[in-house]
A and B are shown apart, each in its own frame.
Chain A
Amino acid sequence: MTFKTTRSLSLCAISALCIANTALAEMELKIGYLTVEQPAPPTLSNLDPVPEDIGLAGALTGLQDNLTTGKFLGQTYVLESAVVADDGDALEAARGMLTYAPYLVIDAAPEVLLQIADLPEAKDAILFNAAAGDLSLRNTDCRANLLHSLPSDAMRTDALAQFFVSKRWDELVMVTGQHPVDQAYAEAMRHSLTKFGLDLEAEKPWGFEADMRRNAAQEVPLFTQEFGDYDALVVADEVHDFGRYVQYNTWEARPVVGSEGLSAVTWSPVIEQWGAAQLQSRFEEQNGRKMLAQDYAGWAAVRTLGEALTRTNSTEPATLRDYILSDQFELAGFKGRPLTYRDWNGQLRQPIALAHPRALVATAPLERFLHHSNELDSLGLDRPESKCEAFK
């Protein structure tokens, strides 16, 4: 395991500011970014490799944003990052980081995340889940010290279900991959379709051994023929194995949605409204690639801490936690509405983009989906259904 520290290099680029800075009492907020690697399942295509710095790159852009703001307030930020190999000791790494900082942004599997949250050293810490969409983490397995800057799978599948309703695509079919993340996504989708009164007419597991790069045109039409008629085909393929070969090869000429085609995403390079173009270009300049969903979750976690420090002028975890979960907190997240945290399970409320790789199609919550307190709560687990007790 290696620790890497990132500080601003350009903080004192202009001497007048340096003088102004030293006059103020410096307050420093330390943040840890912990990646616990997970074995990546093989996929049929290698067209879109996952960037090695996914998530962390977003956190670093958030750090730069915080630093720029902080220099006017005598506040500074340091981010230390560490990567644990999939056979490494994640808990030891987490313990090490927690002695360094009570604020961790974590990219890890759900079970590892919970073990870290339950460490005695993490009791008074604030941990951000920036990589796992599992609903259980926001529900029965929630933890008081664990916030979620990444939307739950349910928020994303609810967003798609709202879109189906608005398009009157009432009859859906689904092809489901075998990996746990595919299964979790499929389960979230089934729940969303029921929630919004839609029908899942049929579902088929994806079980092909064939190399779809050559055979998709022959295999997929037959595979989808027995679905009969439907309005749209949902692909639950969160590891992005086979989904890309389904599009344009279905027996019926119907749109493909879900993990491929029209997707509900936390963030996408095609988002340019609401000032997003500025965040996109800032990210790209700093990291040399496009900003992805997990990068956004890393950015939002670090910016949450920055916003809380700016407004409370405190580095105490308890003070920051209270502020983050209060009505006063709001994060301008380039999604057209202020982002806030659900005080019943620590989930960051946020609009969800409905996009294909070339354009933003719509943004959920869609207009006609109202909610008695906050329209954003029409996405994902709402207060009455939540079984999370840790926040009470």
Chain B
Amino acid sequence: MIRTVALATLLATPAYAGEIWVTNEKDDTVSVISTETLEVIKTYETGERPRGITFSKDYSRVYICASDSDAVQVMDPATGKILHDLPSGEDPEQFVLHPNDRHLYIANEDDAITTVVDTETRKVIAQIDVGVEPEGMAVSPDGKVAITTSETTNMAHWIDTETQKLFANTLVDSRPRHAEFVKGGSEMWVSSEIGGTVTVFDRDTQAEKGKISFEVQGVHPDRVQPVGFEFTAGDTHAFVALGPSNHVAVVNADTYEVEDYILVGRRVWHMAFNEDRSQLFTTNGVSGDVTVIDVASRKPVKTIKVGRFPWGAAYRPAS
């Protein structure tokens, strides 16, 4: 009997149906968007000033940086109930979950520290001194290297996850905001908001491999400010949010050339793909909405109103 019900549910669910979870920085909520109907289906309350958001590997837990509550909150995504808080250090802004599904690397923006928390024991296992205003966080797919970028120090700090110590510090352009490992972890990309560039590093040598600049027609270069970015299937292209220029750039990840600019909402910040990466959801802070981009045609297809100042976005498959 139970089996039959489960089967029926499965059949009723189209392939890849899922949810995009968006943190609303100035509403203290998360909005849950259905990737099928492209509508907000639920809104849950969080701690103060929610920003970074990520799911555990099995999607049974969602971690939320509640910056002004000085906590990382652990929520049950099935019910929206806060299960408990993790010790996070002060003002956690952004974090990344280690491939071991256990260690969260958290940027403490006000304290120039990266905090490593064990999500099982709920204990801080390391605090690492980094530059002023750490923000962007990344971890290599093999789990050996974690990155913190610091906005005012203008560096990517390379952390050995075994010793929890820095082994390299590389300068980038002004106000680095986001970092990602790509191509099996062989490259590390960092966006610089005020510098207006994305820098590509070789992971093994920490040497600069390339730098990407942007030019949006009719927008002064000072207002073209790269922040969040994500990669399409196979890491062939990067979609880069360009902040107050209200555009997302499509970058060829092999040639480092910009192929397209897509108009989205105001002050585009972060983004998340759906399961098969056919749709991209961007958070637009100032307009308080999410733009849905059709990845194949590179066209915006819908705008979804969420809470005030949407910031982070994360995908989970429908339960």
Q: Does B171 contact A (CB under 8 A)?
A: yes
A310 touches B154 (CB 8 A): yes
| Binary per-residue interface labels of chain A (307-329) against chain B in the complex, 1 for a CB within 8 Å, 0 otherwise | 00011000000000000000000
Q: Does A200 contact B (CB under 8 A)?
A: no
Of the residues B110, B154, B155, B244, contact of A282 by C-beta under 8 Å: B110
User: How far in angstroms is the closest Cβ of chain B from A189?
Assistant: 27
A310 to B153, CA, bound (A): 9
Binds B, one of A12-20, A139-147, A175-183, A238-246: A12-20
B171 touches A275 (CB 8 A): no
Of the residues B129, B166, B169, B195, contact of A330 by C-beta under 8 Å: B195
Query: Quick one: which of A1-32 are within 8 Å of B by CB?
Result: 13-14, 16-17, 20
Query: B residues near A, CB below 8 A?
Result: 91, 109-110, 112, 129, 131-133, 150-155, 157, 165-166, 169, 171, 173-175, 193-196, 220, 222-223, 244
A332 touches B157 (CB 8 A): no
User: How far in angstroms is the closest Cβ of chain B from A39?
Assistant: 37
A73 to B133, CA, bound (A): 17
Number of A residues near B (Cβ < 8 Å) is: 27
Q: Does A169 contact B (CB under 8 A)?
A: no
A69 to B174, CA, bound (A): 13
Q: List the B side residues contacting A275 at CB < 8 Å.
A: 133, 151, 175
A69 touches B129 (CB 8 A): no
Q: List the B side residues contacting A14 at CB < 8 Å.
A: 129
Of the residues A71, A282, A337, contact of B194 by C-beta under 8 Å: A337
Main secondary structure of the interface of B (DSSP, over half): loop
Contacts A68-B153, A69-B154, A332-B151; A337 near B169 (Cβ below 8 A): no
User: How far in angstroms is the closest Cβ of chain B from A236?
Assistant: 31
User: How far in angstroms is the closest Cβ of chain B from A288?
Assistant: 16
Q: Does A278 contact B (CB under 8 A)?
A: yes
A65 to B91, CA, bound (A): 18
A213 to B120, CA, bound (A): 62
Contacts A338-B174, A375-B222; A72 near B109 (Cβ below 8 A): no
Query: Quick one: which of A42-73 are within 8 Å of B by CB?
Result: 65, 68-69, 71-73
Q: Does A331 contact B (CB under 8 A)?
A: yes
Q: Does A247 contact B (CB under 8 A)?
A: no
B194 touches A73 (CB 8 A): no
User: How far in angstroms is the closest Cβ of chain A from B253?
Assistant: 26
User: How far in angstroms is the closest Cβ of chain B from A283?
Assistant: 11
Q: List the A side residues contacting B244 at CB < 8 Å.
A: 336
A158 to B171, CA, bound (A): 36
Q: List the B side residues contacting A386 at CB < 8 Å.
A: none
A281 to B70, CA, bound (A): 14
B154 touches A278 (CB 8 A): no
